[in-house]
Amino acid sequence: MECDLSKGKTAVIVGAQWGDEGKGKIVDVLSENFSIVARYAGGHNAGHTVIINGKKFVLQLVPCGVLRPGCRSVIGNGVVLDPMAFLKEVAALRETGVQVDGNLFVSNRAHVILPYHRMIELASENAPGRVKIGTTSRGIGPAYEDKMGRRGLRVADLLDLELLKTHIENACREKNMIAHALFNSEPLDPDKMYQEYAEASQKIAPFVCDTAGLLNRAIAQGESVMFEGAQGTMLDIDHGTYPFVTSSSATTGGAVIGTGVAPTSINTVIGLTKAYCTRVGGGPFPSELHDATGDLLRARGNEFGAVTGRPRRCGWLDLPLLRYASMINGISWWVVTKLDVLDELDEIPVCVGYKINGKATDEIPAHASGFDHIECIYSNLPGWRTSTENIVDVEKLPKQARDYLAFMEKETGARVGMVSTGPDRQQTMFVDDFAKEINALTRQNQK
């Protein structure tokens, strides 16, 4: 699928696997070409790690564009906002000299996470007999439940102190009863909660605006906007490996729902994938490795959660999964991260298809149990057995590494536009055609 970025000024960055594909770094690298970066889904369970000249930044709610001077960052209405986590992150950014005031905007329609959401999620996840999803227990799911149940609290409501007090009193009465009856949890104090969140609301107020209006005006004026996803396609509430998914729309469609821009304003979709595959928490993972090679990938890739520190499950690249992600999202370009993790391997198996009960299939099972019977069909590609870490030109990669990327292109139908071989900004290389199209979106070209 070809797409000329020079005819439009928007792009969606979406994870094509189970999250952790390196979106933070790539959004940071590409944000140089965009006026605004807008986050459209998830909460502070999604950690994006960015390393700039050896200095590490871990962002959870704030879009990575905040690290680029002159680039505005937007937290869209599709995000669920924990006020305390947000203020803590803002304070940490200020301490490092990052300009957040005047550059960071929060949607007045985003829903708020409150302490009872964490209480309910933690108790529910640990309840006897429950299938563990592997949540971060940060209240994300229950906040989305309240949103869909039309009993949530939005940021605009957070700023109305009279409404906030009434909402907290009513919600605590209900949630305390539920938590005590089902999980024997200790009750939360509504008065204390109100005082804490009333104080927080005053600190958040300067960041709050109608971000849908801000984004649509920017697009109409010819500014470039990048929409930053959280998690990945296979964690999407509708299209992922349900029920082992997140609580929001992590796919491209979520960019429209979660920011208030029209579908027709999305110009292109850039899909992120590691050169192999990882997953955190429970759920299906057809190409997972349970041996020393899996341990090697985990060690070389430093596969531990940026927010939770949890070790990630590791496996081979899964092309049926990428084809599915490409179809669901409309991916035009691939960004392949952590290619260097494969540098030591003599041979690299790649999953090219599935068999279910011995029968070849192109479909991704709708039911999690369907994955229990999947057998991966592998093609073994030669490794390159040399370091790719300091290479900055795709054409200078070892031939076997270029062949690996070409095989991925052929099997998925989307082109490889960028390759990352390390965590720092500088350890990134562009394919010429992709670089030319991205450069058409620079702020200088918009003037």
Residue type, 409: E
Q: What is the maximum span of the chain, computed from C-alpha positions, in angstroms? A: 66
DSSP reduced 3-state for 165: helix
- H-helix or E-strand containing 382? strand 374-382
Three-class SS of 55-74:
EEEEECCCCHHHHCCCCEEE
Active site residues: 20, 48
Q: How far is CA 206 from CA 44, 104, 164, 200, 211, in A?
A: 20, 9, 18, 11, 13
DSSP 149: T
**Token pair in block for residue 135:** 């949540």
CA-to-CA separations, 313 to 108, 288, 304, in angstroms, rounded: 37, 7, 9
Q: Which of 108, 48, 437 is nearest to 270 (CA)?
A: 437
Token pair for residue 65? 């564009």
> Residue 8 corresponds to which tokens in the numbers above?
């439009």
What backbone phi and psi angles, to 5 degrees, belong to 70?
A: 85, -5
